[in-house]
Chains A and B, each alone.
Chain A
Amino acid sequence: MLRRLLTEQRGYSAVDAVTGLVLFALSLVSVYQVMIPSFAMWRNSDERIARQQDVRLAMDRMSRDLRESTLALNRLRAYNCAGPSANQNCSAIGFVTARDSNCDGNFQLTGSADPNWQAVIYVWFDPASLELRRRCDTSTTLPVTTWPPVLTPSTVIGRRIILMAFTLLPVGNPNPTSVAIAIREQATTASRPTYRYQTNFYNQTVFLPRN
């Protein structure tokens, strides 16, 4: 009797274990199913923060250069402009910098403490790679009149860009006083299809060249 009982216990135990594992797996799946929206939300939030941060970083990488530049005629030019007005919705810009050492060194002054221009910085949107690129041209202090200049070597300052627009403000005014930059960045596809969260991120900032 005891032997039979023991035998039954072993058999029952195996069934019990299998059943337990199945139930456990089902429970895990259920939990996972319940948490899928949470996972997606987390993934999306993470992506969103990362993209917003990317856009802000791209802006940051241009902000000092632009603020330290000038709007004097021919020292700052916008290129590839989609309009409708002149110098509106342009995909590239070139402007002077007074920083030496490949545009990242010390700010140079003349004897009268005016900026001593050292180079030209170009920033442009490359639609093929969806990248925002920056180049320092130390061979001149005047941006080219027509796009493109020599564009290599360059550095990437923004990725997954789907829209890039430089506009000289006031729009259409022949004497601009500031530069507006609009960037739209696309999130990766992984976070997009299932749930309808925001998938691209837009930042527009106006910079005032102070020199």
Chain B
Amino acid sequence: MLRRALTRDERGLALIAVLVMTILATGIGIAMVGLMNTDLTHAGVQHAKARSFYIAMAGLEDAKAQVFASANPVAYATSPGGVTASFGDGQYTYWVDAGPAAGGCGAGSGLKTLESTGQVGYLAFTISSRVRACGVPGAPFLTAMFGVSLVEAQGSTSRTYVAPYLVGTPGTPRGGHIGSFTEINFSDSGLRLNALSEQGIEYVMVRDPSGSGVISIEDYRLFGFTSRPIYETNPSVDPLPWILFAFGDIVKGQPNTGPLTNRCSPYTPYACVTTGNAPSPADITSIYELRYTDNMRHAYMNSMPQSVLPRLCNDPNLPNFCLDRDEYRTQAYNNTANAPLNTAAGLAAKTYPGAIYTPAEFTQVVNYLASNCPTQCLQGTVYIDTTLAGNCDAGNSAGCFQFNQNVNLGGNTGDVTLAVGGDLVMNGNIVVTNRHDLTTAAGRQTPGILVFGMPAPRRGSSNVCRGETSNGSGRLILCGGSGQILIADGMLFTADGMFIGAQGSLDLIGAMYHEHRDPSNPSYTNQNSTVVVRFDPLALSIFQSGIAIVSWQQLR
């Protein structure tokens, strides 16, 4: 009996051993799984964070799309609660100028604030990311000077500066971009583009910010430099202090409706950059190549990106992008603010109502303004209708209006939009001023000069100056001369290109966009003249379509 008992005890000992081993193995296993689980949780959180970021970005893109699709991008805003939608395995909420996005990019700045948060559930947690962008509403893209067809600088004495308007320290912000859908040509190795006092201090004539008239300033101040850069003899070396970062890009554009033809060989679907006058030039691919290989030693820009951009006018598929001649004519028709001025100028009885003028009538207005503005100036949108007759040639051929004397249209803080149904010509050696109140967003968004042309240009053309002709297609021609300067604010738009003759000057705060009616016409020609564009992105709001982002940040 005792032996049986001992035998039973032995069986019990083995059972205990097995149990102990099992417990040990289980404990070790649980510890291992626990540790791995912690690491896996960390990895899962990181993954969820990444997903939430991309969901937030999806929300930001949705916000942009909504602004883009709205009839009035400048006024578009969401409710303070924002717009929430499911996306992927999470959700985003975006705000436009409301809720947390209200005033994020500066209240009253005319800029739009877009903010989006992306949320993803992970275990018991909600993982989120938040991003914000500031954009220019109504602006489809950001270029200071853009031509659908050829953009060219001609002659060894042509000077072009494309600076920022609200200049801070150099490069913040950068200067404006130059772009084309077809070609950007530099015809002479002596021409200067953003060449800041290369061979000694150089001055440019710009409007006097404190009153009427013009002043002379050192050109490097346009970009925020306080002293003249130190230039190297080697064109591949960036002058000190490094200056290329302060400039904009040469944008090789391609319309989103398909590429346009150009004369470059081999053919490039984007606009090409060329030098000289060869019939089939090769495309230049970098600023270094432009300056060093192609010997344009005095041309300074940042880079040459290629970009697909919306074609703004002359595209039936994109009617929203085009500026509407009739819209501005209607604005002028309804503009009665100039009635006292009309009467004072001897225009009690006009051909058209409101602020629509024939060239002869507008000549009378100019005569009056030359003596009376800034005491009494034009206001609002005015429209020159050249259908019946012009004043650019001896026969008063239709399709053209010409300024023949110095004039300030709206005073130094005006709100005039000069719209022309024909060509607009500035005779040599005169000063024409159309300034706006740039202290307000509305003033900066007000268009400056819009040269629409006639609905149907006339057959035949009249010689104007320097080989330029007029037929009412919508060209802006500055005849040049050392005393000539056009001072303007806001958008400068032409339906058939712009020409600036030798020794002429342009001082523009805003932006310019030049279409063409005949592919053989250049969109923009600077012929031995001095052009100063201080780029204000708000000027592009005139197009009322899309939104161009100027800054982006990740809040969380």
Mark A residues whose CB is within 8 Å of B.
Answer: 5, 9, 12, 16, 20, 23-24, 27-28, 31, 35, 38-39, 42, 45-46, 49-50, 52-53, 56-57, 60, 64, 67-68, 71-75, 98, 107, 109-117, 141-142, 145, 174-175, 177, 210-211
Contacts and interface: CB of A to CB of B under 8 A. Distances in A.
Contact of A49 (B36, B106, B245): B36
B21 interface: yes
Nearest to B165: A112
11 contacts: A35-B25, A38-B32, A49-B36, A49-B40, A53-B46, A56-B43, A57-B46, A72-B303, A109-B106, A111-B106, A174-B288
Contacts of B289: 174
B314 interface: no
Given A5-B2, A49-B39, A116-B172, A60 B46 contact: yes
A210 B552 contact: yes
Given A109-B551, A113-B551, 5 more contacts: A24-B17, A38-B32, A42-B35, A53-B43, A174-B289
A98 to B, nearest CB: 7
A146 to B, nearest CB: 13
A73 B39 contact: no
B443 interface: no
Contact of A109 (B105, B174, B549): B105
B73 interface: no
A211 B552 contact: yes
A112 B554 contact: no
B242 A142 contact: yes
A175 B2 CA distance: 95
B198 interface: no
Nearest to B132: A107
Interface string B299-325: 000111110000000000000000000
B550 A112 contact: yes
Nearest to A52: B43
B519 interface: no
B201 interface: no
B305 A177 contact: yes
Contacts of B6: 9, 12
B286 interface: yes
A71 B549 CA distance: 15
Interface in B46-98: 46, 49
B42 A53 contact: yes
Given A49-B39, A57-B46, A111 B168 contact: yes
A38 B32 CA distance: 10
A175 B172 contact: no
Contacts, number: 138
A211 B551 contact: yes
Contacts of A16: 10, 13
Given A28-B21, A114-B172, A175-B286, A49 B43 contact: yes
Given A9-B6, A16-B10, A23-B17, A113 B105 contact: yes
Contacts of A117: 171-172
A110 B173 contact: yes
B217 interface: no
A113 B550 contact: yes
B550 A114 contact: yes
Contacts of A67: 552, 554
B245 A72 contact: yes
A203 B328 CA distance: 56
Nearest to B111: A113
Contacts of A74: 238, 242, 244-245
A114 B111 CA distance: 11
A112 B288 contact: no
Contacts of B550: 112-114
By Cβ-Cβ distance, the 10 closest A-B pairs, closest first, are A174-B286, A114-B173, A113-B134, A210-B552, A107-B553, A74-B245, A49-B39, A113-B105, A112-B166, A42-B32
B48 to A, nearest CB: 12
Interface string B475-508: 0000000000000000000000000000000000
Q: Give the residue among B25, B111, B171 with the most A Cβ atoms within 10 A.
A: B171
Contacts of A174: 285-289, 303-304
Contacts of B288: 174
Given A42-B36, A73-B302, A210-B552, A113 B109 contact: yes
Nearest to B444: A112
Nearest to B46: A56
Contacts of A38: 32
B171 A141 contact: yes
Contacts of B49: 60
Contacts of A35: 25, 28
A90 B433 CA distance: 53
Contacts of A142: 242, 245
A27 B17 contact: yes
A71 B305 CA distance: 11
B17 A46 contact: no
A182 B147 CA distance: 40
Interface string B150-186: 0000000000000011101101111000000000000
Contacts of B40: 49
B537 interface: yes
Nearest to B20: A24
A2 to B, nearest CB: 9
Nearest to A13: B6
B553 A98 contact: yes
Given A68-B553, A112-B173, A175-B286, A73 B245 contact: yes
Interface string B2-16: 100010001001000
B46 A72 contact: no
A75 B306 CA distance: 19
B286 A64 contact: no
Given A45-B36, A113-B111, A115-B551, A175 B168 contact: no
A113 B441 CA distance: 13
Contacts of B305: 175, 177
Contacts of B172: 110, 114-117, 141
Q: Give the residue among A9, A67, A73 with the most B Cβ atoms within 10 A.
A: A73
Contacts of B242: 74, 142, 145
Interface in B201-247: 238, 242, 244-245
Contact of B244 (A31, A52, A73, A141): A73
Contacts of B549: 210
A70 B171 CA distance: 12
